[in-house]
Amino acid sequence: MNDFIELIQKTYGLAGILTLIPALAATVLYRDGRRKEKEHEKEIRLLNQASEEKLERLQNQRVSDAQAISTKLVGIVSDQSSLNKETNLALGRISETMTHLNGALLQLQTIVLNLKRE
């Protein structure tokens, strides 16, 4: 670049350099803008990649949380089912006992009625 400027100065003098300065400035600014644009694109790519990785981790965590909740719910339903079976068995036994007591009470009433008649 310096050689090019020296060549312009030797060929056209100070007027050539003054004429060339806006073009050189535009070139330097253009290159600087492109470099910054590429850096910006790289930063955006890295941020997108980090966001995607974080999103994937969160989705995986959501899935594992849902599986844990599902497992707990299955356990609760299983426990409730066994409690319901025990309750039904107990109610069945109570019903049988009440039936036997009712029958015994009827027999006792019959005996009492027979004793009163005699």
For the chain, the domains span 2-117
Q: In sequence order, what are the residues at sequence separation of 6 or more whose Cβ sits closer than 8 angstroms to the Cβ of residue 16? A: 8, 9
Span between the terminal Cα atoms of the chain, in Å: 141
**Tokens representing residue 48 in the block:** 């997108």
The predicted pLDDT at position 52 comes to: 96
Give pLDDT tens digits for 63-101. 999 999 999 999 999 999 989 999 999 999 999 999 999
Average pLDDT, whole number, for the chain?
A: 89
Contact 8, 16 (CB under 8 A): yes
pTM above 0.75, yes or no: no
Looking at residues 14-30, what average pLDDT do you find?
81
115 pLDDT higher than 70: yes
Instruction: Label residue 37 by pLDDT band (50, 70, 90).
Output: very high
Give pLDDT tens digits for 1-16. 678 777 777 777 777 7
